[in-house]
Structure 1
Amino acid sequence: MPPKRFPTHQFTEGSGRLPRLDTDFVHEGLVDGQRAQHWQGPRRWWGGPLDVEGLALAATELCVAAINKLIDVEGMYSVDAHGVAQVFASSEHLSVDGRQIPSFGVNSRFFRTRDGWIRTHANYEHHQRALHRAINFEPSENLSKYLLTRSAEDAAADITEHGGIAASVRSRVQWNNTEMGKCASRGPWADFTMSEVTQGRLWTYSDDPVKPLRGLRVLDFTRVIAGPTASRTLAMWGAEVLRVDPPHMPELSGQYIVTGFGKKSIEADLREAHQLSEVHNLLAGADVVLLGYRPRALEPFGLNAHLLREKYPNLIIGELCAWGYEGPYAFNRGFDSIVQAASGIAEIYQDVRGEPGALPVQALDHSVGYGLAAAIIALADARRVQRRTGHVRFSLARTAASLLDLPVTKAPLEPLRKPILRTMSSTFGTLSYVPPPFRALGTAMDYLSPPPAYGANAPVWS
């Protein structure tokens, strides 16, 4: 039976307290449309011209609505608004043996050009090398001087063509007038495709109130923040998560640690036939696969959504990318900060000197992460109860459009309490970290285990 695409409906406001997010969670019955408010604490704390708090609260509330529906206990889980603020800035709070880990490289920033600004991203060594190849300069001061001779569009295009990451800073109007901007704003925030379950392994949720997702097997091909935040959230509720990374492109240590709680870690070079075969053996026993690489990047290995649906028809597929799945940037690399620059957010947050700015946190990444986790929980419930499985897609660019469309809240600005950090021993040392933003019957939750050593686990399910 071919997949059935359902029409888009809107996620309605909870008692008028939260903005709407365009998603068909409600229409599909995946989340209760008549939900109560599931968060406690302030409504506004960062301030600023956009309702970043509303986006953050709505995304984390979706997780709570989905897990409460799964266990059929309204009010079992709730969201702590202070915790939301802190977990969206979790990289800033992480320390290992008392030492913080820098999260941004020296060339991940705004540069002035002849006619405007660009934003570059060079945290990863291979992206730094690509930036150097494109510009032919290594020291940042020479790079700054060189970019002053180039137009923003040309400089960003050159960097992108050489495999680097950059975007020219546009206003919202300029972005909306581009073909990519028009594509990025179309469709629902969470784009679902549903199909009937045929045969094979069906997961049944656990009656353990702390670990209701115990036994759910999640194979995680995501990196950076958004996808790993989703899988960390699923692991927190008991899912077995195997994160897969390529040995030749290691993850940044801080990002790996802060999003690695509760998971297992394996390395697999998909270019090697034996290792690719091991990955497909894992897929045969998985309930969920998360895909966070650029569209088509994993296609040669049989790891795009269409091929996976054909080979593993009952698999729940969660997919995310930077720019969306159509339009001129669809197959480009991208990150939260780059999407902010391109979509008009950086221009909205410019300072008094006219230099572009940024959101107070990487809100696009984190919101997609919690939205994706909620979608996976809801789809697991649909497969269990309704014998339907699904494929859901998110993008940072579509999330930026949602944020830009949110009305500005009139809630008063309230101070945040000091972060309540937890400590946990790990192979990396003693970790000091922000706990999850969720409560179970009013009690703050925590992750079930520390991040494992990178690539420490065997490619097998428990």
Structure 2
Amino acid sequence: MDLTEHGDLPRVWTVLGAETGLLEGIRYERGDGPGLPARLPVMELARTSVAAAALAAAELAAVRAGGPAPRVRVSDGAVAAAFVSERLVRLDGRAWAAFDPLSRFWRTGDGRLRTHANYPHHRARLLAALGLPDGAPVAAVAAVLGGRRAVEVEEAVYAAGGLAVAVRDVRQWAAHPQGALVPGRPPLTLERSDGPGRRPVPFPAAGTPARPCAGLRVLDLTRVLAGPVATRTLALLGAEVLRLDSPHLPESQEAHNDTGPGKRSAVLDLASRAGRRTFDELLAGADVVVSGYRPGALDRFGLSPAELAARRPGLVVARLSAWGRYGPWRGRRGFDSLVQAATGIALLEGTDSEPGALPAQALDHGTGYLLAAGVLRALTERHRDGRGALVEAALTETAHWLVHDLGRDGTTGPDGPADPDGPADPGGPADPGGPANRDRWTSTVDGPLGRLRYARSPVAYEGGPADWTRPPGRWGTDAPAWSGD
């Protein structure tokens, strides 16, 4: 079988413990819509991660239907639109202003710094670390940073609980104690739970190819953006997804408008006795737990994978992080934009004078679809032998995959990054808000909050779901309970 047309998908598929023969069922529709042009192979990352999720969904659909796996369709147009879904979403015509004015690149005394201040508490911590009052203007921040070293500010802001990273090139990141640990790791891992003698776990009888996850329950403990993309995909496939958030952490309704289709959303205080009791009751009925908090943040509540698996045998646990669960940065918070800056991507995509960015938050979206693929494969295997699994992914590992492993035509590879003066990743001009995207790759629905326009899912196979069964509601207002309980 010729696997060359699949790029790096065979390696990802093998990491997931699946049969490569299923790859014959994929049809690619390349160049059928707006692309994600960049110097790095962003379109290849997007296409491969979506293909992995779609193929895993088709395999699960075949298991539930008792027949051959349906053919998978991977449309570049649908993939590109989905990877900028947060820029396409509209509520009553209003766009989501996703980035705060303080979330940007800054000049420092010796280079560049990238900050993230989209949440109020992160903005307050950033300003406090710089010795500025809450509400300080951009000019005041620029004045302070202009006289300080980027790495010094990086450490000070993280010590204050904020988010900032010095902009590094690829070689500087490779020499960093955190970056040096990433090479050789796959884009994600799937580790089956030990459990000899367990019986297969039959699926509920209600599943169909259009809803292969029907009857399965997913606890969604994630926040912007990779984790919600993964659980949004599971909701598309029929899973009952209940997102849980702390009542003490703010969340953006606009973000939920993008990643909340098909889900319910509740708040639950795990620090309270009543909240822990409610969570224990939810866990007793869960098939999957997806966690997107920084490593160690949930362990104090007894929610480490080992503890979860002990309390709920056969559970599939999926975890993602920004920097990985190893090395000196393992406990740090992070977002797509910060990982781009730290790993050299911002300089590769920038100009001689200014750092740049990928045409989408591709590390977030790509990692989300990879994580969904891992969960779906784990559910398929659990049906056969009853064993649970731990699926893990990190944005830095996705970044390394993009820079070093996904190159075509010699533009990238294990010996170096993309040529900054080389050709952009093909796919045509990106126009996420243009009429072609709006008409072909988006849908509009009247929901509880108003008229919502959103990007359709790129996960597609014969007989698969055409759309989510429900629009997102108001964040945090559902009951923390499973439907029917």
2-structure distance, mates of 1:57, 1:349: 20
Q: Is the partner of 1:456 in helix, strand or coil?
A: coil
Are residues 14 and 153 of structure 1, via their aligned partners in 2, closer, same or farther at CA, if it must alter by over 3 Å? farther
- Map 1:89-108 onto structure 2 (within 5 A): 89-108=84-103
Per the alignment, residue 356 of structure 2 pairs with 357
Aligned-pair Cα RMSD in Å: 2.2
Q: For the Cα contact (< 8 Å) 1:235–1:262, is it kept in 2?
A: yes
User: CA shift at 1:166, angstroms?
Assistant: 0.6
Partner of residue 41 from structure 1, selected from 9, 16, 30 = 30
Q: For the Cα contact (< 8 Å) 1:22–1:189, is it kept in 2?
A: no
Partner of residue 32 from structure 1, selected from 20, 40, 61 = 20
Q: For the Cα contact (< 8 Å) 1:319–1:394, is it kept in 2?
A: yes
User: CA shift at 1:407, angstroms?
Assistant: 4.6
Per the alignment, residue 477 of structure 2 pairs with 456
Per the alignment, residue 369 of structure 1 pairs with 368
Q: Which moved more, 1:70-79 or 1:327-336?
A: 70-79
Per the alignment, residue 74 of structure 1 pairs with 69
Q: For the Cα contact (< 8 Å) 2:242–2:265, is it kept in 1?
A: yes
What amino acid is the match of 1:106? P
Q: Is the partner of 1:213 in helix, strand or coil?
A: coil
Q: For the Cα contact (< 8 Å) 2:230–2:368, is it kept in 1?
A: yes
Pairing 1:323–2:328 present: no
Partner of residue 151 from structure 2, selected from 138, 153, 165 = 153
1-structure distance, mates of 2:53, 2:213: 13
Per the alignment, residue 284 of structure 2 pairs with 284
Q: How many residues align?
A: 449
Are residues 89 and 413 of structure 1, via their aligned partners in 2, closer, same or farther at CA, if it must alter by over 3 Å? closer
Are residues 338 and 21 of structure 1, via their aligned partners in 2, closer, same or farther at CA, if it must alter by over 3 Å? farther
Partner of residue 426 from structure 1, selected from 429, 447, 453 = 447
User: CA shift at 1:21, angstroms?
Assistant: 5.6
What amino acid is the match of 1:80? S
Are residues 225 and 446 of structure 1, via their aligned partners in 2, closer, same or farther at CA, if it must alter by over 3 Å? same
Per the alignment, residue 468 of structure 2 pairs with 447
Q: For the Cα contact (< 8 Å) 1:45–1:53, is it kept in 2?
A: yes
2-structure distance, mates of 1:90, 1:348: 24
User: CA shift at 1:186, angstroms?
Assistant: 3.8
User: CA shift at 1:201, angstroms?
Assistant: 6.5
- Map 1:111-122 onto structure 2 (within 5 A): 111-122=106-117
Q: Residues 233-268 of structure 1, C-alpha deviation per residue, up to 9 Å, x if partnerless? A: 000010000000111112112211100000011100
Q: For the Cα contact (< 8 Å) 1:51–1:407, is it kept in 2?
A: yes
Q: Is the partner of 1:35 in helix, strand or coil?
A: helix
User: CA shift at 1:387, angstroms?
Assistant: 2.6
2-structure distance, mates of 1:329, 1:321: 11
Q: Which moved more, 1:261-270 or 1:195-204?
A: 195-204
Q: For the Cα contact (< 8 Å) 1:206–1:213, is it kept in 2?
A: no
Are residues 293 and 412 of structure 1, via their aligned partners in 2, closer, same or farther at CA, if it must alter by over 3 Å? closer
2-structure distance, mates of 1:27, 1:152: 37
Are residues 205 and 171 of structure 1, via their aligned partners in 2, closer, same or farther at CA, if it must alter by over 3 Å? farther
Q: Which moved more, 1:387-396 or 1:170-179?
A: 387-396
Are residues 27 and 120 of structure 1, via their aligned partners in 2, closer, same or farther at CA, if it must alter by over 3 Å? closer
What amino acid is the match of 2:108? T
Q: For the Cα contact (< 8 Å) 1:171–1:347, is it kept in 2?
A: yes
Q: Which moved more, 1:434-443 or 1:194-203?
A: 194-203
Q: For the Cα contact (< 8 Å) 1:113–1:149, is it kept in 2?
A: yes
What amino acid is the match of 1:101? W
What amino acid is the match of 1:428? L
Are residues 117 and 273 of structure 1, via their aligned partners in 2, closer, same or farther at CA, if it must alter by over 3 Å? same
What amino acid is the match of 2:82? V
Partner of residue 165 from structure 2, selected from 158, 164, 167 = 167
Identity %: 36
Per the alignment, residue 141 of structure 2 pairs with 143
User: CA shift at 1:202, angstroms?
Assistant: 4.8
Q: For the Cα contact (< 8 Å) 2:192–2:389, is it kept in 1?
A: yes
Per the alignment, residue 433 of structure 2 pairs with none
What amino acid is the match of 1:390? A
2-structure distance, mates of 1:438, 1:334: 27
Are residues 134 and 412 of structure 1, via their aligned partners in 2, closer, same or farther at CA, if it must alter by over 3 Å? closer
- Map 1:199-218 onto structure 2 (within 5 A): 202-204=202-204, 206-218=206-218
User: CA shift at 1:296, angstroms?
Assistant: 0.6
What amino acid is the match of 1:326? Y
Per the alignment, residue 10 of structure 1 pairs with none
User: CA shift at 1:415, angstroms?
Assistant: 5.2
Per the alignment, residue 53 of structure 2 pairs with 63
Are residues 205 and 415 of structure 1, via their aligned partners in 2, closer, same or farther at CA, if it must alter by over 3 Å? farther
User: CA shift at 1:47, angstroms?
Assistant: 2.5
Pairing 1:20–2:19 present: no
Q: For the Cα contact (< 8 Å) 1:324–1:395, is it kept in 2?
A: yes
1-structure distance, mates of 2:177, 2:110: 21
Q: For the Cα contact (< 8 Å) 1:167–1:341, is it kept in 2?
A: yes
Are residues 270 and 14 of structure 1, via their aligned partners in 2, closer, same or farther at CA, if it must alter by over 3 Å? farther
Pairing 1:405–2:404 present: yes
Are residues 180 and 190 of structure 1, via their aligned partners in 2, closer, same or farther at CA, if it must alter by over 3 Å? same
1-structure distance, mates of 2:16, 2:160: 42
What amino acid is the match of 1:59? S
Per the alignment, residue 420 of structure 2 pairs with none
Structure 2's unaligned 5+ residue stretches are 63-67, 410-424, 431-435
2-structure distance, mates of 1:275, 1:402: 39
Are residues 14 and 328 of structure 1, via their aligned partners in 2, closer, same or farther at CA, if it must alter by over 3 Å? farther
2-structure distance, mates of 1:24, 1:89: 23
What amino acid is the match of 1:445? A
User: CA shift at 1:150, angstroms?
Assistant: 0.4
- Map 1:261-280 onto structure 2 (within 5 A): 261-280=261-280
Q: For the Cα contact (< 8 Å) 1:26–1:33, is it kept in 2?
A: no
Are residues 146 and 374 of structure 1, via their aligned partners in 2, closer, same or farther at CA, if it must alter by over 3 Å? same
Q: Residues 89-113 of structure 1, C-alpha deviation per residue, up to 9 Å, x if partnerless? A: 0111111111112000010000000
Q: Which moved more, 1:19-28 or 1:93-102?
A: 19-28
User: CA shift at 1:34, angstroms?
Assistant: 5.2
